Structure 1
């Protein structure tokens, strides 16, 4: 299982919107960056990810799960880009802010630090575990 981070501006699509979609989930569309597209193509059913509020809040607020692997994004007139479907799994007990992540040396190599504008990013297992611990999640929560 892999882990990911999905960035969304809360005024466009918030954690509350994701939760409201319930078990049926929703598609993650609109990606127009080839690196992010390749990340979407690498996702598999059951992969988990952090839901990150960008611009407003700048914090990881919840956990999502891939419920449908990559398929064509109908909002892309070129036909080059894909989307996946995600469902909300759980909110984090305590959001983890970008400032906290930046202040944590063990997270200095996290994609969020190195590729700040990338909307869909991989998260290493060690980063996943550390962020969950920082959020106050029980050990082993949301892991394969």
Structure 2
């Protein structure tokens, strides 16, 4: 049974439209530099599903779905001195940071804004809706996944 996630990205940095234009509509989810979010990445498995969330947008919203197509592996940008994600304490022998590869499943015809999601019964406990929640990678419970997917007629929850 797959696990479910929410992946946040600022659309000015990397949007779901950028993912749609990527080769094979696939990309690595690099640059996560929070230990709790990193641990969530490390627990992802091929076949897991995720919501793609545009943060720091007007309005912030869930804009589509993705699938994990490659499990967690060391983030090579952490070893690259020219990268903004370089970490001197991360080495290939002892990597500190990880990434997964994701593939676009669907761009929603209408985004699901954060304020709208706050009104939906059944997802009140969703991490995204918790006050002060800032993690860029978050778990989503199966019942939350199903409920949110039901808001978009074209999305299959499984």
TM-score by length of 2: 0.83
How far did 1:105 drift? 3.7
Contact kept? 2:60, 2:114, Cα under 8 Å: yes
Q: CA RMSD in A?
A: 1.5
SS at match of 1:75: helix
Structure 1 match to 2:100: 84
Unaligned runs of 5+ in 2: 79-86, 91-95
Large movers: runs of 4+ above 6 Å = none
Q: CA deviation at 1:93?
A: 3.7
CA distance in 2, matches of 1:95, 1:39: 24
SS at match of 2:63: strand
**Cα offset for 1:24?**
5.6
Count of aligned positions? 141
Shift of 1:122: 0.6
Q: CA deviation at 1:22?
A: 4.4
2:128 counterpart of 1:127: no
The offset of 1:142, in angstroms, is 4.2
1:103-125, Cα deviation, whole Å (9 max, x unpaired): 22421210102262000011111
Structure 1 residues not aligned, in runs of 5+: none
| Structure 1 SS opposite 2:153 | coil
Give 1 or 2: higher helix fraction.
1
